[in-house]
């Protein structure tokens, strides 16, 4: 008796009883899973063909380049203080435009100057990046370094940051190759000791090694949809030679490394005590690449980040200005929230001083101001929309009472 032939999918090899539908062809069969898989491949292939044919966006915006002073003036509308960091960012962005539009003469090729910004939490690193993104005519992407792991491990590969850049310019490869990438929390991938790792450091030194080719400039194969969720997707080749990288991080503890290197203590009758205290409280102004190396960044990576800048810690005056002055100031945001309900919100001037005092006490920077505002106004935002109230004034007594009864007041100050 002849053995009965078992039908199976000619693509994946699964038997008839392992699939729902088996479609017969002239010389074979195909299951419903392979049909869906083939449909995805067709969509991706056709999608890549249509996006690659689009014109490059930056070429139409060459005449709208803003001078460094204009860029800084724009940043001043959103970020209070940090003049040194804003100047360096303005110059870097302006030079990036000039590099893209330059005509190569006498074999002089201008290299890009990637930047690394160091500053305490809440001083405005990410806000600077987002503010620049508002005004740029080149693709801009903000990525978080904490999600990256060494190739082959669970997490995202460093190449996936370029997929964010591709998405920002609708997968126009030529436009993406002239974009800017802001890598936030770069300090989180520092190796845990100053000695080269002899064991696997999945999210530290290995990620830094992976960043080297991106920062220097190389042709990288980028998954358009990012990650490993779509292993069948066609890779897109992106040249990073003209992509400007700006890195930012808090580098918590680097001030102790700087203090060991810089002796700010002086002895004598002519000592300027105020200047000495300022230098001691703002050690980040003395930071250099050597300090970042001791913190845990490898020398090869620092060599590709030639510009090192810092953000000043926020004092009481700066925090008070942050509350009221910028275009998107915190008080303006809450006033708008109440205005939508038809309620005119106002504050006693002493309330601002109280908020600043608590923000300095808990050492949370500008982000702490929002937490303090929320703890003071939560009850008002909960109750007033249901009441017929046309105006509401926040007094100092009300602020102290509401903040004192909140969970945030129970935080321990280090």
Which tens digits make up the pLDDT trace of 274-299?
Answer: 666 666 667 888 898 999 999 989 99
Domains 58-310 and 316-410 share a fold: no
The whole-number pLDDT of residue 404 equals 87
**pTM for this entry:** 0.72
- For the record, the structure tokens of 191 come out as 């190796």
Q: Any long-range contacts for 411-414 (C-beta under 8 Å, 24+ apart)?
A: 411/362, 413/361, 413/362, 413/363, 414/363
Cα radius of gyration rounded to whole Å, the chain: 28
E-assigned strand segments in 156-211? 180-184
Does domain 58-310 match CATH 3.40.50.300?
yes
For residue range 193-242, list pLDDT tens digits in order: 555 544 445 556 788 888 998 998 888 888 877 655 555 567 888 999 88
Instruction: Give kind and range of the element (H or E) at residue 31.
Output: strand 29-31
Q: Where are the domains of the chain?
A: 1-53, 58-310, 316-410
Alpha carbon distance 79, 168 (integer Å): 24
First-to-last CA distance in the chain? 85
Q: How far is residue 81 from each of residues 73, 312, 322, 355, measured CA to CA in Å?
A: 12, 8, 9, 19
Please list the residues that pair with 307 across neighbouring strands. 115
Say how far apart CA 159 and CA 104 lie, in whole Å. 29
Task: Report the alpha-carbon distance of residue 226 to residue 230 in Å, rounded.
Answer: 8
CB 30 within 8 A of CB 23: yes
DSSP state of 303: H
Q: Which two tokens stand for residue 260?
A: 């060991």
Pairing mode, if any, of strands 22-24 and 307-310? unpaired
Rounded Cα gap, residues 355 and 329, in angstroms = 14
Q: Which residues of the chain have pLDDT under 70?
A: 1-5, 44-64, 104-106, 150-155, 192-204, 226-233, 263-281, 409-414
CATH number belonging to the domain at 316-410, selected among 1.10.3720.10, 1.10.8.60, 1.10.357.10, 2.60.120.380? 1.10.8.60
HSE, side-chain direction, 13 A CA sphere, residue 169: 28
> 208 Cβ partners below 8 Å, 6+ apart?
189, 190, 191, 297, 298, 300, 301
Residue 227: per-residue pLDDT: 58
Q: Could you give the CA distance from residue 300 to residue 10 in angstroms, rounded to a whole number? A: 50
């Amino acid at each position: 008796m002849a053995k009965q032939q078992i039908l199976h999918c000619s693509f994946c090899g699964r038997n008839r009883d392992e699939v729902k539908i088996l479609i017969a062809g002239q010389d074979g069969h195909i299951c419903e899973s392979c049909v869906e898989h083939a449909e995805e491949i067709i969509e991706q292939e056709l999608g890549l063909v249509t996006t690659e044919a689009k014109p490059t966006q930056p070429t139409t915006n060459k005449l709208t380049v803003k001078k460094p002073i204009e860029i800084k003036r724009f940043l001043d509308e959103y970020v209070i203080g940090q003049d040194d960091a804003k100047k360096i960012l303005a110059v870097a962005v302006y030079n990036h435009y000039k590099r893209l539009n330059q005509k190569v003469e006498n074999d002089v090729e201008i290299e890009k100057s990637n930047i690394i910004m160091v500053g305490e939490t809440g001083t405005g690193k990410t806000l600077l990046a987002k503010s620049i993104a508002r005004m740029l005519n080149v693709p801009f992407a903000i990525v978080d370094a904490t999600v990256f792991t060494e190739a082959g491990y669970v997490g995202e590969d460093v190449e996936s940051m370029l997929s964010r850049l591709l998405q920002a310019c609708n997968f126009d490869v030529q436009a993406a190759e002239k974009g800017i990438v802001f890598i936030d929390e770069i300090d989180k991938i520092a190796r845990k000791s100053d000695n080269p790792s002899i064991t696997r450091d999945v999210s530290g030194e290995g990620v830094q090694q992976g960043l080297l080719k991106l920062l220097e400039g190389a042709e990288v194969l980028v998954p358009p949809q990012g990650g490993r969720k779509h292993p069948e997707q066609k890779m897109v080749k992106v040249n990073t030679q003209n992509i400007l990288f700006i890195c930012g991080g808090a580098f918590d503890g680097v001030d102790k490394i700087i203090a060991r290197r810089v002796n700010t203590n002086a002895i004598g009758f002519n000592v300027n005590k105020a200047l000495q205290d300022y230098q001691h409280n703002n050690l980040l102004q003395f930071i250099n690449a050597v300090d970042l190396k001791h913190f845990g960044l490898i020398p090869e990576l620092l060599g590709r980040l030639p510009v090192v800048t810092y953000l000043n810690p926020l004092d009481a005056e700066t925090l008070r200005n942050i509350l009221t002055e910028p275009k998107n100031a915190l008080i303006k945001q809450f006033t708008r929230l109440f205005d939508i309900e038809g309620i005119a919100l106002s504050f006693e001037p002493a309330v601002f001083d109280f908020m600043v005092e608590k923000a300095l006490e808990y050492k949370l920077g500008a982000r702490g101001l929002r937490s303090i505002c929320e703890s003071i106004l939560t009850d008002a935002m909960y109750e007033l929309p249901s009441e017929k109230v046309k105006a509401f004034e926040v007094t100092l007594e009300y602020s102290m009472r509401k903040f004192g009864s909140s969970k945030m007041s129970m935080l321990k100050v280090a």
